[in-house]
Structure formats: structure tokens, C-alpha cells
């Protein structure tokens, strides 16, 4: 906080209260159950608000208005059911991710309504604003504690149990009997709480990137480090160039870790948007890069090679990744608007719901002493909990990624709302069809976490997506396999054929970083080539340059970014057209021109570039490679230094 076949237990889903087919000119209002909904101002949906007691145990304390959006089914006749999606974080509102959820549900919407609710304390449901925490560049124990004090008696009233009860109240008010519930990341925690508190409201449940409510050693997040190590080791073992290097990926990275331990230093490097990030390059900076998985693709694709380069004295690739990670783990948008992500809500949930390594009922001072004692004991008994990092290096990560320190000075919970009270005592998981989607490169919600969740449901089924990251049914996933499985499950209450989960291609890792093209393995000449080895090494540098820009553009939010060692690129046409200006991946090769990125995952990347290379190896090249297959080969043709180039190389 980061099984068995499902049986068709229910023959039919719940029916929505309204039965009329949507008209060409939607009505201004829609009556459902006891509520009248109004057309939303900015989206094609009906918006509603339901006043709920802030503290159900003491209704006189006040109310909170819970916001939701209802997307009616698009076909004729009555709806066959209602699909509900709930967002991760915690702190993000579900309505902000409406495009992703509607894309997932699109093939089902002819006969099913879609409902999105902003959890209390997020979005338009009274977003919490702990101003200092919301704008802080980095969470601190003192900042989290100050947020809790500012919330006062309300600090305990924004946990997952209250949000789950809010959703149940909305369903009652809309006269919706049962729902199919999808959640991603923290949304899977919400789902489990909802399932245990309101089991009769569920027809089925889909948990995408799941972690359990509790378990042995839960507060230490014991599967976190093993999954992190597996992420890098699996990716390396599946990459021919990396697998040829003796040892696993963690062994490749260890020399850089030792150097960072021995000689930490102040560093400045650009993130994918070109913002200069200043930080301390030390073991903790490497830990956050490796644990956080943000950016997911670049961190796994490049860390092994960047660490090897760093150990040789080339700092630029690893420092860039560290800067990008510090940018990626910042959940705020540029305006730090709590409606887009609420740091206060995130802190309130994280300090109220999950188990801690200390007793939250202790006064904060005593809690600090209990924390220190627990950490000392853990170091003695389980020193490798976060290997290859030490406990102190792990704790040097941001509080909302290392987890174990953030709530140590949070206010003591009131007796009537104890911490961890998210489910009624003794309540068993409901006997409903449950699908858990996990991924073998996800170390935030690990395969072990997902298996534990699937076991809790009597008819739980886990599907593991290979070569994939955190959350897999939404559009940004590496493929559409999980989305297809989820849709089949929502239609039939069975995941159907899941073989595609094992067929997602491995990642293509960067084989090596080099300061100069002459240190690279050359591209392979094919008939018609007249370029010699130096020219084919420049060709390889150009190819890796273009590939690097394609990856950076995927994380870019400003429309402009920097090259690794100079130059810049611009992003246009929704990320499909990339214009490079003197981009240098090696210091001696500058690349300018345009790359076209296909809209689909299975298209071809095409680039036309001008090259300034060493020793007069200037010219122009045309490059293309298939975007998706792991073993894809790039084709390169053109002129360098007056010589014809015809070559192949592994796609970047």
C-alpha cells in the first residue's frame, strides 16, 4: 500500500431500474430508484450525488456528498446488469479514469450499465486537501503526522470500509441489486472489503493487480523484494544479449550498488519531460528505481545495462533512470490539485486500514520506540527482507513506497473507529465467481499476493500474465489478452481460454550503453551493403537512439524531451509522431528526423533520419521494425559517409 475455475453460480445479472433504450437525444434527467440523475456537464453520462453521514456511528457529525457517474447501456431493452469500476491509489477518483474503464467495458455496454463512484475524500466526493502534504516534494513522517492532526477527528472517517458502505448505499438508492465489480491496484483492496461487507450485492468480481487484506508478516510486505529480484532476473533470462552475460541480473547490478554505497553523490539529471531533477545518487535512489517500477518499461528495459555502464564510469544512463523514477512516483499532477489525487486521502487510508509493524493504539512517542524495536528484531532475524538492499537503504525510499515508517506519528485512532477495522469479525469471503489478474513482472502487487487473494474466494481463479507489469486489463497494458479474458469472464462467469496469458512477448532489453559508437556491436550487413564496420557501428547507435526516443515518448507529458547525451525530441499526433533534433544516445552520433509510431501494438515503427557521425560518417537512413515481437529485427537502409548501407540488427 502497491485457483479453481470460476463456476457460473448465478444465471442472470441484476436488472437496472430503467428499461428504455437510449434515444438519439438523451433526456436531461434520468430517474433510477429513488434518485433523479442529471446529464453531466462534460461527459456523456448522468451524474448524481448522494449525501452520506461522514461518521455513520454519529450521524450528527455531518454529511459528505458522494459523487458518481452512470453510463446507461447503449442497446434497446432493459439492462442485463451493472458494471462498476473502482480506482487504485489510494487517492485517485474513479471518474478521472473513465476513459480506461469505458474502453475495457465497451464491448459489453450494449446490455450493461456502467457506474463509477469517486470514493469519499477523492475527486468530487469531498477531496481531502492536506495542503502541506499535497504540495511537498517528498513525504516526511512529520508531514504525514501534520496531515493527520489537521484532519482531526475526521482522520479515521475516510477508510475503505466507509467508502465500501457508500457504494452499497448508492446501489440501494439506484435500485441496483447486484453488480460485476472490477478494480485495479488499491481498487482490489476496496473490492475485497466491499465483498466482505456487502456480499449479496455482487454477481462477480475481477481483481486486476491484487494484494490481500492481511497475512503473515503483512506489514513488512514480504513478497516485495523477492518479486523485485524476479522481475529483473526473468527479464534478463528472456533477453538473449542479457542472458549471455554470466550471472543473473541482480548480480549484474550489484557492482553499481556497491559503488553507490561507497561513494554517494549529489546528482542532477533530466526526467522524460526534460525537467532537471536534483537528488542524492545513493543506494536508496537505486532501491526506489528497482522497487517502484516507474517508469515500468524503461526501468526493466534499461537498469541492467545502465548499472553495468555505471560500474564502468558512465553515469548518465543510470542517473537518468533515477530522475525518471523520482518523477514517476510523484502521484500529483502539475497543479497538485487534490481532486486529481489526494495525498491526504492516501495518508488517511494507509494509516487507518492495513496492518503496521507497530500498534497504532500507542501514543506516537511510544509508537516510535516500538517501531525501532521491531526493525532491530527484523534485522536480526530476517536481514535479507529487502535484499540486495539493507533495511536502512530500503527505508531511504519515499515513505509511500517503503511503507513501514509513514504512519509512525499519525494520530492515535479513536476508540469507536479502531485501525484495521475494515471487515466484520469472522466474515468469510463470498462464494462468487472471482477472477484475479496478476503479472510476473509486477513487484507491487505480486503473483504471490494475487494467489493469496484468489485462495480466499471459494471459486477464485488467478491468471498470470507473463512479461507484464502492474494492472493489465486497461489500455496501457502490454497487450489486450487480460482485457479479453476479463470481458469473457464478465459475460460468462468463466475466464475461458487463457492461453494468451503465456504468450506475451518478452521485453527487448537494452543490450549495452556506450559513450561512443565504436564501442557498440555493429549492425549485420546484408546484400548490397558497402559500409564497413565503423559505419555499421554508427548504424547501431542510430537505431538505439531512435528506440530510446520511442520509449521516452511513452512517458512524456509535455510534448518535448531530451536525448540521453544531448539534443531533443518533440511528441505530436497523440504520441504517434516523434520529431528528433540532434538527439545523442552516444556522444559522437547526432540523429535528426521523424519516427512514426503505430497506434496498435502490432504495427511497425518507421523512421527517416539524418545522421552526423564520427569521421565523416554522415548521411541519411530509413529504419523500420515491428513494435511487438521479442525477436523482431530492424531493417536499415541509406547512405553513410558516401557508402550504401543495407543492414539488420535486433530491434531496440
Residue 332: burial class (beta carbons within 10 Å; 0-12, 13-18, 19+) = middle
The sign of the dihedral angle between the CA atoms of 517, 523, 528, 530 is: positive
Which has more confidence, 415 or 361? Answer: 361
Residue 153: what pLDDT? 87
Q: Does 23 have pLDDT greater than 60?
A: no
Euclidean distance between CA atoms 467 and 439, whole angstroms: 7
Q: In angstroms, what CA-CA distances link 57 with 48, 52, 54, 61, 415?
A: 24, 12, 9, 9, 12
Q: Does 159 have pLDDT greater than 50?
A: yes
Residue 25: what pLDDT? 67
Contact 208, 486 (CB under 8 A): yes
Q: How many residues does the chain have?
A: 652
User: If residue 164 lies in a helix (H) or strand (E), which one and from where to where?
Assistant: helix 160-174
For 535-555, what is the mean pLDDT?
96
590-596/524-525 β-pairing: unpaired
Query: DSSP letters of 262-303?
Result: HS-EEEEEE-TT--EEEEEESHHHHHHHHHH-SSHHHHHHHH
Q: Nearest-CA neighbor of 469 among 93, 185, 221, 272?
A: 185
Query: DSSP letters of 457-508?
Result: STTEEEEEETT--S--SSTTSS-SHHHHHHHHHHHHSS----GGGG-PPPP-
Euclidean distance between CA atoms 155 and 408, whole angstroms: 15
Three-class secondary structure of residue 242 per DSSP: helix
Which DSSP state fits 649? Answer: E
Tell how far CA 393 is from the center of its chain: 23
Q: For residue 339, what is its C-alpha cell? A: 481532486
For residues 33, 36, 40, 41, the Cα torsion angle rounded to the nearest 10 degrees is: 180
Euclidean distance between CA atoms 586 and 543, whole angstroms: 11
For 168-183, what is the mean pLDDT?
98
**Quick check: bond before 90 cis, omega within 30?**
yes
Q: 528's torsion region: left (phi>0), alpha (psi -120 to 50) or beta?
A: left
Angle formed by the axes of helices 283-292 and 316-328, to 10°?
60
For residues 265, 308, 605, 639, the Cα torsion angle rounded to the nearest 10 degrees is: 100
For 550-572, what is the mean pLDDT?
95
Domains of the chain plus CATH, in order, are 56-121+158-213+428-494 (3.40.50.1820), 219-328 (no CATH), 517-650 (no CATH)
Query: Could you report the per-residue pLDDT of 102-125, keeping only the tens digit for each?
Result: 999 999 999 999 999 999 999 999
Contact 32, 17 (CB under 8 A): yes
Q: Find which of 138-142, 416-420, 447-451 is predicted with most confidence, using mean pLDDT.
A: 447-451
Contact 487, 460 (CB under 8 A): no
Euclidean distance between CA atoms 73 and 210, whole angstroms: 28
Euclidean distance between CA atoms 455 and 207, whole angstroms: 13
Residue 216: what pLDDT? 84
Query: Could you report the per-residue pLDDT of 511-524, keeping only the tens digit for each?
Result: 999 999 999 999 99
Euclidean distance between CA atoms 346 and 357, whole angstroms: 18
For 540-563, what is the mean pLDDT?
95
* Residue 90 dihedral angles phi and psi, to the nearest 5°: -70, 160
Residue 628: what pLDDT? 86
> What pTM, to 2 d.p., does this model score?
0.93
35-39/643-650 β-pairing: unpaired
**Number of C-beta neighbours around residue 307 at 10 A:** 28
In what order do the strands lie in the sheet containing 112-117? 29-32, 35-39, 46-53, 63-71, 112-117, 81-86, 179-184, 202-208, 434-439, 460-465
For 88-112, what is the mean pLDDT?
97
For 147-154, what is the mean pLDDT?
93
Q: Nearest-CA neighbor of 646 among 535, 544, 550?
A: 535
Q: Does 4 have pLDDT greater than 70?
A: no
Q: Does 6 have pLDDT greater than 80?
A: no
Angle formed by the axes of helices 160-174 and 186-197, to 10°?
60
Q: In angstroms, what CA-CA distances link 612 with 30, 183, 525?
A: 63, 49, 20
Integer-rounded Cα radius of gyration of the chain: 26
Euclidean distance between CA atoms 509 and 240, whole angstroms: 9
What's the whole-number average pLDDT of the chain? 93
Contact 555, 328 (CB under 8 A): yes
Contact 335, 396 (CB under 8 A): no
Q: For residue 493, what is its C-alpha cell? A: 462467469
Residue 22: what pLDDT? 42
**Quick check: bond before 388 cis, omega within 30?**
yes
Residue 532: what pLDDT? 97
Euclidean distance between CA atoms 104 and 477, whole angstroms: 11
Q: Does 362 have pLDDT greater than 60?
A: yes
Contact 198, 387 (CB under 8 A): no
Query: Could you report the per-residue pLDDT of 253-312, keeping only the tens digit for each?
Result: 999 999 999 999 999 999 989 999 999 999 999 999 999 988 999 999 999 999 999 999
Q: What is the largest CA-CA distance in the chain?
A: 84
In the numeric block, the cell 489478452 is attached to 481
For 472-485, what is the mean pLDDT?
95
First-to-final CA distance of the chain: 34
User: If residue 199 lies in a helix (H) or strand (E), which one and from where to where?
Assistant: none
Euclidean distance between CA atoms 455 and 450, whole angstroms: 9
In the numeric block, the cell 523485485 is attached to 228
Percent of the chain with pLDDT over 90: 86
Amino acid at each position: 500500500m502497491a485457483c479453481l475455475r470460476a463456476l457460473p453460480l448465478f444465471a442472470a445479472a441484476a436488472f437496472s431500474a430503467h428499461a428504455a433504450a437510449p434515444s438519439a437525444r438523451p433526456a436531461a434527467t434520468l430517474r433510477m430508484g429513488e434518485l433523479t440523475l442529471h446529464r453531466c456537464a462534460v461527459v456523456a453520462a448522468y451524474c448524481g450525488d448522494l449525501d452520506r453521514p461522514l461518521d455513520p456511528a454519529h450521524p450528527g457529525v455531518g454529511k459528505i456528498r458522494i459523487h458518481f457517474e452512470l453510463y446507461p447501456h447503449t442497446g434497446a431493452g432493459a439492462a442485463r446488469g451493472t458494471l462498476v469500476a473502482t480506482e487504485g491509489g489510494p487517492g485517485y477518483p474513479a471518474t478521472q479514469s473513465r476513459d480506461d474503464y469505458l474502453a475495457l467495458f465497451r464491448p459489453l455496454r450494449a446490455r450493461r450499465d456502467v457506474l463509477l463512484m469517486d470514493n469519499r475524500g477523492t475527486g468530487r466526493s469531498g477531496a481531502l486537501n492536506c495542503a502541506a502534504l499535497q504540495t511537498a516534494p517528498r513525504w516526511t513522517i512529520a508531514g504525514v503526522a501534520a496531515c493527520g492532526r489537521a484532519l482531526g477527528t475526521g482522520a479515521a472517517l475516510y477508510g475503505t470500509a466507509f467508502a465500501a458502505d457508500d457504494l452499497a448505499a448508492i446501489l440501494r438508492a439506484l435500485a441496483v441489486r447486484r453488480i460485476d465489480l472490477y478494480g485495479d491496484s488499491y481498487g482490489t483492496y476496496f473490492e475485497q472489503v466491499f465483498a466482505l461487507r456487502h456480499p449479496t450485492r455482487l454477481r462477480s468480481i475481477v481483481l486486476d493487480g491484487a494484494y490481500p487484506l492481511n497475512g503473515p508478516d503483512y506489514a513488512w510486505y514480504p513478497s516485495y523484494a523477492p518479486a523485485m529480484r524476479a522481475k529483473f532476473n526473468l527479464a534478463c533470462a528472456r533477453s538473449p544479449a542479457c542472458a549471455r552475460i554470466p550471472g543473473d541480473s541482480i548480480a549484474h547490478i550489484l557492482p553499481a550498488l556497491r559503488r553507490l554505497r561507497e561513494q554517494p553523490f549529489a546528482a542532477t539529471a533530466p526526467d522524460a519531460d526534460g525537467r532537471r531533477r536534483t537528488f542524492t545518487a545513493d543506494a536508496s535512489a537505486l532501491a526506489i528505481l528497482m522497487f517502484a517500477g516507474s517508469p515500468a518499461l524503461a526501468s526493466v528495459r534499461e537498469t541492467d545495462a545502465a548499472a553495468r555502464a555505471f560500474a564502468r564510469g558512465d553515469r548518465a544512463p543510470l542517473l537518468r533512470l533515477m530522475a525518471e523514477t523520482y518523477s514517476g512516483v510523484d502521484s500529483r499532477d502539475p497543479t497538485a490539485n487534490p481532486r486529481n489525487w489526494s495525498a491526504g486521502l492516501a495518508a488517511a487510508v494507509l494509516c487507518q486500514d492495513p496492518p503496521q509493524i507497530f500498534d497504532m493504539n500507542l501514543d506516537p512517542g511510544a509508537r516510535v520506540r516500538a517501531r525501532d524495536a521491531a526493525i532491530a528484531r527484523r534485522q536480526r532475524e530476517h536481514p535479507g527482507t529487502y535484499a540486495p538492499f539493507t533495511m536502512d537503504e530500503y527505508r531511504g525510499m519515499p515513505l509511500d513506497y517503503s511503507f513501514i515508517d509513514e504512519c509512525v506519528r499519525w494520530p492515535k485512532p479513536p476508540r469507536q473507529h479502531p485501525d484495521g477495522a475494515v471487515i466484520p469479525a469472522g466474515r468469510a469471503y463470498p462464494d462468487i465467481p472471482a477472477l484475479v489478474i496478476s503479472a510476473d513482472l509486477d513487484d507491487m502487487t505480486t503473483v504471490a499476493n494475487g494467489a493469496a487473494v484468489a485462495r480466499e474466494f471459494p471459486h477464485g481463479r488467478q491468471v498470470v500474465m507473463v512479461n507484464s507489469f502492474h494492472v493489465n486489463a486497461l489500455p496501457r497494458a502490454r497487450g489486450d489478452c487480460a482485457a479479453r479474458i476479463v470481458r469473457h469472464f464478465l459475460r460468462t462467469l468463466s475466464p475461458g481460454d487463457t492461453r494468451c496469458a503465456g504468450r506475451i512477448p518478452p521485453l527487448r532489453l537494452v543490450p549495452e550503453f556506450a559513450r561512443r559508437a565504436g564501442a557498440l556491436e555493429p549492425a549485420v550487413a546484408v546484400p548490397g551493403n558497402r559500409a564497413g564496420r565503423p559505419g555499421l557501428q554508427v548504424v547501431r547507435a542510430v537505431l538505439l537512439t531512435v528506440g530510446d526516443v520511442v520509449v521516452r515518448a511513452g512517458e512524456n507529458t509535455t510534448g518535448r524531451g531530451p536525448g540521453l547525451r544531448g539534443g531533443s525530441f518533440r511528441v505530436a499526433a497523440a504520441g504517434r509522431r516523434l520529431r528528433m533534433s540532434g538527439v545523442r544516445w552516444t556522444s559522437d552520433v547526432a540523429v535528426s528526423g521523424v519516427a512514426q509510431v503505430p497506434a496498435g501494438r502490432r504495427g511497425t515503427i518507421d523512421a527517416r533520419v539524418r545522421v552526423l557521425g564520427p569521421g565523416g560518417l554522415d548521411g541519411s537512413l530509413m529504419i523500420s521494425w515491428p513494435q511487438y515481437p521479442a525477436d523482431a529485427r530492424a531493417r536499415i537502409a541509406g547512405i553513410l559517409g558516401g557508402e550504401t548501407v543495407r543492414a539488420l540488427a535486433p530491434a531496440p
